[in-house]
Amino acid sequence: MLCAMKTPRIPFSIQQAVMRCLRNNLALACQRLERDYPEPKILWNQRGTAAGTAWPESNEIRLNPVLLLENQQAFIDEVVPHELAHLLVWHHFGRVAPHGKEWKWMMETILNVPARRTHRFAMDSLARKTFPYTCSCQRHQLTVRRHNRVVRGEAEYRCVHCGTQLKPDTHAK
């Protein structure tokens, strides 16, 4: 099992497969849309449970190395075109809804890939440390990021069921 704390190295053969997929889909889009779009930079530093993210302003795609290594072919077939479609939509239409009709059209009509908003990869290896909190009706587990925001006084969270503010569970072990 891969450690979620340390970024794993991506073998060169997998990097090549990702780049081949990216370039093939980009060439297809350029041909079908009769435009030249710049090749995005690929970064292998996406963390958390997101498989990837697109950053239009910097023309970057950030990929989750843990999920890539665990789901190589599905990741290449689905995630790379998904994130590329976001960049293509931004170049072609400007700022629109992230998974709106333009993105769906780009995925299905231009790239010939089913337009799924979220991945279906197992998350077991991404298990993260959580912090116990309580409300009036139950116990909650907050992520490190949310816990740190509470500690710094930047946020408070409420239970969706009872509406009371979540407080650190001081009795938890």
Please list the active-site residues. Answer: 83
Beta-carbon contacts of residue 155 (< 8 Å; ≥ 6 apart): 146, 149
CA distances from 50 to 85, 112, 133, 152, 158 (A): 16, 22, 24, 25, 24
CB-CB contact of 18 with 74 (8 Å): no
- How far is residue 84's CA from residue 97's CA, in Å, rounded to a whole number? 15
